[in-house]
Structure 1
Amino acid sequence: MDFVLNKIDKYLDNHISFDQYRKDLKRKLKELNGLKEDIESTMSIELRPRKKLKAEVRIWLENVERINGEVQDLDGRIGESNALTSGFRAEDVLNSIRDVSELIIQHGKFHGGLVVDNLQWIGQVLTTTSLSGGAVKACIEEIWQCLMDDEVSKIGVWGMGGVGKTSIMKLINNQLLEETEKFDIVIWITVSKEMSIAKLQKDIASKIGVEFCGDEDETTRAGMLFETLLRKSRFVMILDDLWEKVSLERIGIPEPSVGSKLVLTTRSSDVCRQVGCRVIKVKPLTEEEAWELFLEKVGRDILNTPGVEPIARLIAKRCAGLPLGIITIASCMKGIDDICEWRNALKELSLRQESVNGFEDEVFQQLQFSYDRLKDPKLQHCFLSCALYPEDFVIEEGGLIKLWIAEGLVEEMDSMQAEFDRGRAIMNRLISNCLLEVFTERKDGRSVKMHDLLRDMTLHIAKSRFLVKAGMMLEKPPAVQEWSMELEKVSLMKNWRLRTLYPLEVLPPKCPRLTTLLLQECGIAGIPEGFFDHMDALKTLDLSENPIKSLPHSILNLKNLTSLLLAYCDCLENVPSLSNLQVLKKLDLHGTNIEEIPQGMENLVSLEYLNLGYCYNLTEIPNGILSRLSCLQDLIVGRTRISGNEVGGLKKLENLEGRFHNWHNLNMYLQGQAFHGRDEPRQYTIYVGGADWFSTALYATTKAISVGGRNIHTYPIMLPPDIEELKMDKCNLDGCADSEYPFFSRFILFSPNSFSSLKDVKIYGCRNMKKLFSPNCVPLNLYQLIVKGCEELEEIIASEGGMVTMEFCLPQLRKLELWDLPELKSICSVDSVLVCDSLEEIRVEDCSKLQRMGLNLPQLDNAPPPASLSIWMGPKEWWESVEWDAKPLLEPFTRIFPC
């Protein structure tokens, strides 16, 4: 009580000061926003084609926006306070003044303009394949000369499917990006067979920075594109794979004038003439060029097998000089040294070509040969399912493999990881046979594309078994007769204007063989009650990202359903009982508006994947449900509370994201895992108490625990041995007899390795804590350490009596932040030093009792500080007094917070 009275007295004494602080803040914020307006005015002049904002300017502008929002929120909180308590916000106001002042100081450092050259701005570099042959080189040269000739404004590149038009233009596109003076922007647009003006306009808008609100009509969109393209007077627009004449005016493309170009690729010379293009034909490879390409792809070692070369030459000749056919056939014959197989392959190709008429059909037969060579029916079905995505769609590998698993095309294994690995092996096989191409490759996975001819061939193979109208901007559902009895797979995905699935005035479709129904992103608000009455074989139903409010009860008839996907159906409040879906393996209700677990979920004993993340109205899963779901491998429940005892008993769990109410629940979960002799899941994100979400870690953590508002008492607290990220917010040592005992020493691990996996530690606002780590309990592989607002913390690494001089090495540490630690006296003891070989960012703020940094940065030896090193220190008076051997070297690069 005395403490509160003292606070009130202090506030009353300083009420005038508080009002003055607020006035100072408003004055400084006005000054800052004036500088922002000046910056934006200068930007409008300097930010021309081939220029981009300097990173420091972009970050500064982002920080100004952030601080404006924070001050607005602070004003709101002060306004809601009464006269007595508002003064307690003085510290927040002072912190805001400091942040605004810092941004004003930074503004003065923008020397030499606001922008830098941006050579990549003019367009997107595209993946290419190597091209060979005299005819191809002559064609490239002719196209290039036309592009450089101001007299030619429209160029039409035509040739049959698979001849290499797109590959040639990708090379041209990349070469244009190096022409830094000729053009301002190069715009690549893939058109595809099912052309839509709306989709074309949307694609062009995304490339030139035009934003549609979504309610504009076609004419308005065209006007917006037209106006923007006119300002980019020197543009090259490449329309790839155009099937019919287009009206440039209707789309919003200005007629090319001097300095701008329109290039299109098409399979029809008539389209070139109708648009008014200079026509350039892409010719097939000569017989010798075809043979050289075939050898390149199949491998020259086939020449060592007696009798194979003449057969291989005939196969290459059968490909009619079409690079796509040559590459796919050669790829599927790679590594075969049995002459009998070569003879059989030639026979198959010969029979196919005798049975078809027309050059385009001939290409299909070449491509189908490669499909048939897969031989394994499951592998073939995996390939066919790629055609369920829209034409020219970039397919994420993970999503495609999950579809294969859901359809039963990947055999059931004892873990999700094993099934995914099998799916990845299938993907590699399709890529190596050139049936899919890798579009991007990142650490978190690949994406692939399917050539439009291969997709056409796939749909030709599937014929009446597939109904695919994905990504076609449909506004009406398929006609009644298209829902045939023979259908096995239907994909209407990504038709966000569709709204309805089936004409309401007719009886529901009868599709007894239908196994896959993909309806994600179709704008569907409701499903007719009897829609699923005659779909007994359905296994996969994807209704994700639709504004549906409820599901029809006919879904209960789907007794063979294995995957029910409803992610981001954010209007969905009720799900009917699922008790009949006995074989359901995957249930995704991520981002829905449900308030209760669907009835009958405890009966889903085959369930392997359950996702209830971002279901904000769902507070907890009742006891007795999760323990019944013994097959669960993937459990994602986000903020929803779960029982540590029940989850600890799930023997097959591989991925966990959920919230435990308290420390006891976390301990029960870990004890359950240990009791069953299991390792921790491959991935887990666990929240305890009132913990919030994780901020981005420097290290890509997959095993993280965040704890909020849970006091730490005398009993030990368990942590998983492989934990990588730990966040503690307002976890006080209330009730602990010895606050001198290091904070981290209160945790125990089921492992002799002391926090060897821990990469990221964040400690916020924890009271009654004086020491963070003991000398023998420092996580040596840390990437990031942030400690903020711990009012009684005195030491980061505790000193021990009688210790000799020590070096604590944190070779991986990239970021060290110490904020608002008024009692902090040392990072490590006076006789010790913390060695950080890789430190990139240091931030020490409001640690007034810290007089010695105790940091050794070997990267500074015999060299100036690296450009990546960022140092933030404050306040100024403290920085001037602190002891640090490295300070003279670092001072010119240090950002000082004002007093």
Structure 2
Amino acid sequence: MDFVLNKIDKHLDNHMSFDQYRKDLKRKLKELNGLKEDIESTMSIELRPRKKLKTEVQIWLKNVERINGEVRDLDGRIDESNALTRRFRAEDVLASIREVEELITQQGKFHGGLVVDNLQWIGQVLTTSSLSGEAVKACIEKIWQCLMDDEVSKIGVWGMAGVGKTSIVKLINNQLLEERGKFDIVIWITVSKEMSIAKLQKDIASKIGVEFCGDEDETTRAGMLFETLLRKSRFVMILDDLWEKVSLERIGIPEPSVGSKLVLTTRSSDVCRQMGCGVIKVERLTEEEAWKLFLEKVGGDILNIPGVEPIARSIAKHCAGLPLGIITIASCMKGIDDICEWRNALKELSLRQESVNGFEDEVFQQLQFSYDRLKDPKLQQCFLSCALYPEDDVIKEGGLIQLWIAEGLVEEMDSMQAEFDRGRAIMNRLISNCLLEVFTQIGDRRFVKMHDLLRDMALHIAKSRFLVKAGMMLEKPPAVQEWSMELEKVSLMENRRLRTPYPLEVLPPKCPRLTTLLLHKCGIAGIPEGFFDHMDALKTLDLSQNPIESLPHSISNLKNLTSLLLAYCDCLENVPSLSNLQVLKNLDLQRTKIKQIPRGMENLVSLEYLNLDDCRNLTEIPNGILSRLSCLQDLNVGRTLISGKEVGGLKKLENLEGRFHNWHNLNMYLQGQAFHGRDEPRQYTIYVGGADWFARALYDARKAIFVRDCNIHTYPIMLPPAIEKLKIMDCNLDGSADSEYPLFSSFILFSPNSFSSLMSLEIYGCRNMKKLFSLHCVPLNLYRLIVDKCEELEEIIASEGGMVTMEFRLPQLRELELRRLPELKSICSVDSVLVCDSLEEIWVKDCSKLQRMGLNPPQLDNAPPSSASLSIRIRMGPKEWWESVEWDAKPLLEPFTTII
């Protein structure tokens, strides 16, 4: 800003006309108001429910309004002045120009959007499917009218299974979040058939910010919820899928009064009546509405197949006006152009219809049609295994696919990635047939859900083969008689107070067919010694996230076990011998307290996945173990030391995270890779040297190497060509004479194909280093370059004798930080320039000998007269150095420069 004032003061000295100052002010004010319009346009997009404007944005907008008013007043006073006194207003004009300039600059600091979460607002937008039919529209209107009517406090929405109750109320939930005039809080709770007061209380508490310590009884929890909700009077409580009357008092929900509402969905009008609700029934679709929905989901192309339309209409009619059945069956028939298959499908549905008794069975028969159409038994088993998760659970796609792989439901392939891709294809098949739905997606990670009716159908199909009591807040294990000889899969996951999976006072269960046992998050502190004695077929055992200290020795005899999952068992110190587990493929001991590798691990010749990350008591894997695990594809040992030579010999490794002792060990690993002639892992994070320094928040690359407290030896090393991030901290170039040579080219080799993927390079505290890059060894695709506290560094790009003026280009560089480099004399050689067309942030501090920047930031060649069009952040210091440094771009960049 001083730059602007100095410029104007100079104009004053040159007797610039007073009218010119006013024109400058008006031009700047017009520019500021243009920015204000842009901000307000962005606000209209970002300012959604549960969001509010950042305080700094609110203040900025108020200041813009204020300065507009002040300039209008100033104009009025100037117009009323005579020719003599007008010039005395110049001081006011200059002050206004300065403030307008400051506001223009402040606008560039609104990083990360204009809004933040409104913590006073409670509610969650839910995924919805398209709804159709006049009856549905009428139902939505009735519910909305009741919500807006202060005389109605409880609303009961009922209808048969699959008719669309939940979809309708989800839409209402989202509409309430849009319309903020009447309610501040919308709480959605899924109740389900296996209801428990404790689970309802826990779910409500998580939504309204109440924390239970775990020791409260039901009455105390109810009081805590009641007190909190009473203070939040403008709320809507939605209880979805209520099967029986429930006491609001026992749960802790205040009786709805003026300002609050209760909405519930149920399959029984009696439940509505018993809860004292106004009743709204969801009717089935008419025959024509059903056909329209069927045609929308199956695709209008079927009408081009001769003879198919009447058959398709009959199939749609068999769905009895139930949207869930229509969508599921239509999705199943999508893309089929053989009229014989259409006739066969109609025949199957007709036969099922004859055996139906009751509405729920009718829906099951429709849904099972889609299950049967999967044909492939393994595909069907993949679908059934989704029912092992708690009702209405959001399931991580990756975890579910890993379960399928462990169960042998995905065919074996030559790599984990290929198997995962095959699992993803199965997932897509289930989703396209509407047997699963995508709940949300973050990047390439998906989370899926299973409709409660489809889950009920899956458990109905599995019958006595499955024992599933997942997420039911159990405090006692299933009764002895429930552990039957026919069981194939047992899921008791997410029952945090279970403590033990089986009554301690009786003999261990006999389940010779059991292949899957899921017990994670059950609060299990101990397992009876002989618990696994009669589970010879067990393949998958998940005991993760339990406070268990030791495992029974009977685990050692599970010869068919392929997956042993013990992650986040924070108290686990002892693992029995694994020698007999010859077919074990997955072993997850992440974040356990083990102090040494389990006995017999070297015999796990089939092991493909090993996770020892964050095992803080485990310092090193002894030599001779990893080299025998030749099938390893995914190895994650976190900070634990491993042998570079042994890991370099693992020919199938796809993912690696681990620590090598020093630079030499890293070199041994890289040479091992080259010797075996294989590509580098698809993903890796390699630490070299010190163990206690890395922060995972920095790991924003798929292929990264972090080096600390190492001697970087005189012999050169060729890093992996596809490396994306390299961070070197507190290292020493081995030999002071060699420090005259650049780090890149002398210690780290460079070839024309090297480092084309290197995006981030960070060097901190590297001793004896005087040059970073040689002339022909600059990674061209760098996104970030940080060099800090390298006290002997003299040049970033080393100069060479007889060199002519050159132009270096780093077209992708966005962040450049040079800090605490007291000997730095140049970024590049004299008369050369570094062109960075994408640069967004420059930070130079405590580089006192740097007298010429030699840096050409973006947009300077074609920059318009107004520097405000640039978008760049600059931090420079100290002030004395900044005033003396030579940089052609400095005058233009002054408004964006902060002195530090």
TM-score (norm 2): 0.85
Query: In structure 1, what is the Cα distance between the partners aligned to 2:330 and 2:121?
Result: 38
Note the 1:414-453 alignment, pairs <5 A.
414-453=414-453
When structure 1 is superposed on structure 2, of 418-427 and 252-261 the one drifting more is 252-261
Contact 1:691 1:706 in 2 (8 A): no
The verdict on how the C-alpha distance between 1:878 and 1:178 changes in structure 2, with shifts beyond 3 A counting, is same
Contact 2:662 2:711 in 1 (8 A): no
SS, match of residue 229 in structure 1:
helix
After TM superposition, give the deviation of residue 227 of structure 1 in Å. 2.8
Which residue of the other structure, out of 876, 884, 888, is the alignment partner of 1:873? 876
Residue of structure 2 equivalent to 1:684: 684
Residue of structure 2 equivalent to 1:24: none
Query: In structure 2, what is the Cα distance between the partners aligned to 1:576 and 1:57?
Result: 60
SS, match of residue 386 in structure 1:
helix
Residue of structure 2 equivalent to 1:803: 803
Note the 1:349-388 alignment, pairs <5 A.
349-388=349-388
Query: In structure 2, what is the Cα distance between the partners aligned to 1:885 and 1:352?
Result: 83
Letter of the aligned partner of 2:619 in structure 1? T
CA deviation digits over 1:826-861, x for unaligned, max 9?
222332222223333332222222233333222463
Residue of structure 1 equivalent to 2:624: 624
Residue of structure 1 equivalent to 2:742: 742
The verdict on how the C-alpha distance between 1:801 and 1:224 changes in structure 2, with shifts beyond 3 A counting, is farther
Note the 1:505-524 alignment, pairs <5 A.
505-524=505-524
The verdict on how the C-alpha distance between 1:805 and 1:196 changes in structure 2, with shifts beyond 3 A counting, is farther
Letter of the aligned partner of 1:437 in structure 2? E
SS, match of residue 737 in structure 2:
coil
Residue of structure 2 equivalent to 1:242: 242
The verdict on how the C-alpha distance between 1:626 and 1:220 changes in structure 2, with shifts beyond 3 A counting, is same
The verdict on how the C-alpha distance between 1:590 and 1:57 changes in structure 2, with shifts beyond 3 A counting, is farther
CA deviation digits over 1:129-188, x for unaligned, max 9?
111111111111111111122221211111111111111112112222221322212222
Letter of the aligned partner of 1:610 in structure 2? L
Query: In structure 2, what is the Cα distance between the partners aligned to 1:796 and 1:691?
Result: 29
Contact 1:542 1:566 in 2 (8 A): yes
The verdict on how the C-alpha distance between 1:132 and 1:51 changes in structure 2, with shifts beyond 3 A counting, is closer
SS, match of residue 717 in structure 1:
coil
Larger radius of gyration: 2
Contact 1:713 1:736 in 2 (8 A): no
Query: In structure 1, what is the Cα distance between the partners aligned to 2:874 and 2:124?
Result: 35
Query: In structure 2, what is the Cα distance between the partners aligned to 1:786 and 1:256?
Result: 59
Query: In structure 1, what is the Cα distance between the partners aligned to 2:623 and 2:305?
Result: 68
Contact 1:687 1:706 in 2 (8 A): yes
When structure 1 is superposed on structure 2, of 373-382 and 214-223 the one drifting more is 214-223
Residue of structure 1 equivalent to 2:840: 840
Contact 1:467 1:490 in 2 (8 A): yes
SS, match of residue 151 in structure 1:
coil
Note the 1:451-470 alignment, pairs <5 A.
451-470=451-470
Contact 2:639 2:691 in 1 (8 A): no
Letter of the aligned partner of 1:54 in structure 2? K
After TM superposition, give the deviation of residue 695 of structure 1 in Å. 4.4
Residue of structure 2 equivalent to 1:395: 395
Contact 1:158 1:266 in 2 (8 A): yes
After TM superposition, give the deviation of residue 379 of structure 1 in Å. 0.4
Query: In structure 2, what is the Cα distance between the partners aligned to 1:117 and 1:207?
Result: 15
Contact 2:714 2:747 in 1 (8 A): no
Query: In structure 2, what is the Cα distance between the partners aligned to 1:699 and 1:783?
Result: 15
Letter of the aligned partner of 1:136 in structure 2? V
Query: In structure 2, what is the Cα distance between the partners aligned to 1:881 and 1:247?
Result: 77
Note the 1:478-627 alignment, pairs <5 A.
478-627=478-627
The verdict on how the C-alpha distance between 1:265 and 1:583 changes in structure 2, with shifts beyond 3 A counting, is same
SS, match of residue 738 in structure 1:
helix
The verdict on how the C-alpha distance between 1:494 and 1:893 changes in structure 2, with shifts beyond 3 A counting, is same
The verdict on how the C-alpha distance between 1:749 and 1:438 changes in structure 2, with shifts beyond 3 A counting, is farther
Residue of structure 2 equivalent to 1:765: 765
Query: In structure 2, what is the Cα distance between the partners aligned to 1:164 and 1:867?
Result: 53
After TM superposition, give the deviation of residue 601 of structure 1 in Å. 1.0
When structure 1 is superposed on structure 2, of 476-485 and 151-160 the one drifting more is 151-160
Contact 1:699 1:760 in 2 (8 A): no
When structure 1 is superposed on structure 2, of 162-171 and 831-840 the one drifting more is 831-840
Q: Determine whether 1:659 maps to 2:659.
A: yes
Contact 1:692 1:706 in 2 (8 A): no
Query: In structure 1, what is the Cα distance between the partners aligned to 2:298 and 2:849?
Result: 71
Share of identical aligned residues, percent? Answer: 88
The verdict on how the C-alpha distance between 1:729 and 1:490 changes in structure 2, with shifts beyond 3 A counting, is same
Letter of the aligned partner of 2:843 in structure 1? R
Query: In structure 2, what is the Cα distance between the partners aligned to 1:825 and 1:542?
Result: 59
Contact 1:584 1:604 in 2 (8 A): yes
Contact 1:156 1:266 in 2 (8 A): yes
CA deviation digits over 1:674-706, x for unaligned, max 9?
111100010111111115565467883111111
Contact 1:536 1:559 in 2 (8 A): yes
Residue of structure 2 equivalent to 1:5: none
When structure 1 is superposed on structure 2, of 789-798 and 247-256 the one drifting more is 247-256
Query: In structure 2, what is the Cα distance between the partners aligned to 1:116 and 1:570?
Result: 35
The verdict on how the C-alpha distance between 1:776 and 1:423 changes in structure 2, with shifts beyond 3 A counting, is same
Query: In structure 1, what is the Cα distance between the partners aligned to 2:230 and 2:120?
Result: 21
Note the 1:198-237 alignment, pairs <5 A.
198-237=198-237
Query: In structure 2, what is the Cα distance between the partners aligned to 1:315 and 1:704?
Result: 56
CA deviation digits over 1:476-500, x for unaligned, max 9?
0000000000000000011110001
Which stretches in structure 2 are left out of the alignment for 5+ residues? 1-48, 59-105
After TM superposition, give the deviation of residue 778 of structure 1 in Å. 1.3
CA deviation digits over 1:727-779, x for unaligned, max 9?
11111113142322111223445864131111111111111111111221111
Residue of structure 2 equivalent to 1:262: 262
Residue of structure 2 equivalent to 1:783: 783
Contact 1:859 1:865 in 2 (8 A): no
Residue of structure 1 equivalent to 2:719: 719
CA deviation digits over 1:288-336, x for unaligned, max 9?
0000000000111111111111111111011110000000000000111
Note the 1:185-196 alignment, pairs <5 A.
185-196=185-196
The verdict on how the C-alpha distance between 1:433 and 1:866 changes in structure 2, with shifts beyond 3 A counting, is farther
CA deviation digits over 1:489-534, x for unaligned, max 9?
0000111100011111111000000000001111111110000000
When structure 1 is superposed on structure 2, of 212-221 and 516-525 the one drifting more is 212-221
TM-score (norm 1): 0.85
After TM superposition, give the deviation of residue 433 of structure 1 in Å. 0.3
Residue of structure 1 equivalent to 2:169: 169
Letter of the aligned partner of 1:584 in structure 2? L
Contact 1:328 1:367 in 2 (8 A): yes
Residue of structure 1 equivalent to 2:895: 892
After TM superposition, give the deviation of residue 225 of structure 1 in Å. 2.5
Q: Determine whether 1:709 maps to 2:709.
A: yes
Letter of the aligned partner of 1:641 in structure 2? L
When structure 1 is superposed on structure 2, of 633-642 and 793-802 the one drifting more is 793-802
Residue of structure 2 equivalent to 1:92: none
When structure 1 is superposed on structure 2, of 824-833 and 743-752 the one drifting more is 743-752
SS, match of residue 142 in structure 1:
helix
CA deviation digits over 1:229-276, x for unaligned, max 9?
233222222221122222222222222222222211111112212222
Letter of the aligned partner of 1:415 in structure 2? S
Query: In structure 1, what is the Cα distance between the partners aligned to 2:328 and 2:697?
Result: 43
SS, match of residue 685 in structure 1:
strand
Letter of the aligned partner of 1:873 in structure 2? M
Which stretches in structure 1 are left out of the alignment for 5+ residues? 1-48, 59-105
Letter of the aligned partner of 2:140 in structure 1? I
Residue of structure 2 equivalent to 1:818: 818
Residue of structure 1 equivalent to 2:299: 299
Residue of structure 2 equivalent to 1:41: none
